[in-house]
Amino acid sequence: MVRLLRCLLLAASVALICTVAGAQVESFYEQQLRAAKSDYQANRFPQAADELRIAAFGFLDRPPLLCEALVRLTVVENALGQETALTRTLERFIEAEHRFAPYAGLQIEPSIKSKFEEIVMRNVPRATLVTLPGLARLANNEIEKLAGLPASERVSAYRAGAQREPSNPEWPLALAREAAARGAEADVIRWGERVLELDPRNRAGRALVAQAHVARKECRDAMPILRGLENSELEEHPELYADQGVCFAEAALWSDAQTALAKVPESLKSRPDVSAAARLIAGKVAPKRTAEATNTSMISSKPAPGPAKAGDVIDVTRRLIRDGKYADALARLQSAADGDPNNRQLRLALLEAAVLAKVWRTAALQVGSVMPLATGEELYMFYASVAMYETGRKEEAKPLMERARPRMISSPMVDYYLRAILGQRG
């Protein structure tokens, strides 16, 4: 304990001395995290515990690193048998996961994650587990057990679970999957939207809702999801390339449609709506490309390198935002948007980064480019409302915040702007 107090005093001293050199302070805490990893591997658990507590102290404004430090500290304190300290660390982790949900994106060794999740299952009540975005699946063993029941009994059990645990997105997700299996798209949308109310980033829920809308020829309703898909989501659900191709073609987004259809799985290329989209694109894009080829061949036979793909830029900047590097994300997105000014997804990402970086004028300039905002885009309604509020358009900010409020998860930032704009708490 004396050693830990000395270390914490040293950490506080470093923080005070280095106020001008903030990067050095951050480096100090990152060094503590790295040292803790090495000490853990060498079975020097007391040293690792001290280093992780110091690291967590320094990462209070960097949720992903704070979460990683707390996960590792939980494992170390369990190994040391420090039950009281373990309880306090888990309470801090639960608070961070409720506010920022960083756990699912952490890059931690599988062995550490496995030990951590075992500890969580032993020490955290199931009712709490289902409220943690990155760990709700640990509470869902009951759902897996129900999978072997006859269909009618299974659906009844899922409905009962949804009533019993209304904040657990896995129950409506199970019902949406059941509805998809029997081709009941209206029920897929109903249950899938319930999933997204509880967990707006739920990939399976987003995929199911988008696919159901496309099956019902409701591309307008599917577009907010289809245009916001990350590359990793498309790799996880490659059938969404087909839905993108169909809806992008319907919206006359020829280049985007052609790119999506080129990645459609072979088994889906004969789907009637996919085939129709391919024929439509062929008639629109091929003549234009032939003309372009004639013109450019007169200038140069070596094409200039193209800009980075918007999806790749957005993926990179999402990681930067998760790491708290808002200014870096803003600079990358601004450059990409300058080169592709009509790309709505870039504008949405730029809006988010500008708000988080508190560059209010840049944020406000994006609002007109991304409107109207549809159901499923409540996060961007929130950012647009904040941008308007901070640039003096307070009355215009209220309707968007009213629409965003039901799907916003409480956090210091959300709670502040709900009070400021609507006079309400989160």
Q: For 164-215, what is each residue's pLDDT tens digit?
A: 888 888 899 999 999 998 889 999 999 999 999 988 878 889 999 999 999 9
In a domain, 168, yes or no: yes
Report angle CA 323, 328, 329 to the nearest 5 degrees. 75
239 shares a domain with 182: no
245 shares a domain with 204: no
Q: For 96-136, what is each residue's pLDDT tens digit?
A: 998 888 998 898 999 999 999 989 988 888 778 878 888 87
Q: For 227-254, what is each residue's pLDDT tens digit?
A: 988 888 888 888 899 999 999 999 999 8
- CA dist., res. 117 & res. 140, Å (int): 13
In a domain, 225, yes or no: no
Cβ 160 vs Cβ 197: under 8 Å: no
User: Which backbone phi and psi does 308 adopt, to 5 degrees?
Assistant: -60, 145
What CATH number corresponds to the domain at position 101?
1.25.40
Out of 181, 216, 251, a domain closes at 216
What CATH number corresponds to the domain at position 159?
1.25.40.10
Report angle CA 383, 384, 389 to the nearest 5 degrees. 95
In a domain, 65, yes or no: yes
| Residues constituting the chain | 426
How many structural domains comprise the chain? 4
Calculate the CA 271 to chain-centre distance: 30
In a domain, 302, yes or no: no
Nearest to 204 by CA among 241, 166, 176, 178: 176
332 shares a domain with 404: yes
- CA dist., res. 97 & res. 119, Å (int): 16
Residues with Cβ within 8 Å of residue 51, at least 6 apart in sequence:
7, 32, 33, 35, 36, 39
176 shares a domain with 76: no
pLDDT of 70: 96
418 shares a domain with 315: yes
- Say which residue, 144 or 426, is predicted with more confidence: 144
- In this structure, the number of other CB atoms found within 10 A of the CB of residue 36 comes to 25
Residue 291 reports pLDDT greater than 50: no
- CA dist., res. 256 & res. 397, Å (int): 32
262 shares a domain with 361: no
Region at 183 (left for phi over 0; alpha for psi -120 to 50; beta for the rest):
left
Which residue is listed with tokens 């004028």?
A: 361
Out of 174, 191, 216, a domain closes at 216
In a domain, 41, yes or no: yes
Mean pLDDT of the chain: 83
Region at 424 (left for phi over 0; alpha for psi -120 to 50; beta for the rest):
beta
Cis peptide before 406 (omega within 30 of 0): no
In a domain, 222, yes or no: no
Out of 216, 244, 263, a domain closes at 216
Which of 185-199, 248-262, 266-280, 404-418 has the least mean pLDDT?
Answer: 404-418
In a domain, 280, yes or no: yes
26 shares a domain with 122: yes
The one-letter amino acid code at 395 reads E
The one-letter amino acid code at 113 reads K
254 shares a domain with 205: no
418 shares a domain with 331: yes
- CA dist., res. 330 & res. 314, Å (int): 11
In a domain, 418, yes or no: yes
Roughly what angle, to the nearest 10 degrees, separates helices 240-250 and 272-297? 70
- CA dist., res. 147 & res. 145, Å (int): 5
Question: Would you call 301 exposed, middle or buried from its count of C-beta atoms within 10 A (0-12, 13-18, 19+)?
Answer: exposed
Query: Measured in Å, how far apart are the chain's first and last C-alpha atoms?
Result: 39
- Say which residue, 248 or 22, is predicted with more confidence: 248
118 shares a domain with 148: no
Report angle CA 333, 64, 6 to the nearest 5 degrees. 130
282 shares a domain with 172: no
pLDDT of 386: 92
Per-residue burial over 160-186, b = 16 or more CB atoms within 10 Å of its CB, e = otherwise: ebbeebeebbbbbbbbbbbbbeeeebe
Domain region containing 100 = 2-128
Question: Would you call 315 exposed, middle or buried from its count of C-beta atoms within 10 A (0-12, 13-18, 19+)?
Answer: middle
188 shares a domain with 160: yes
Q: What is the pTM of this model?
A: 0.46
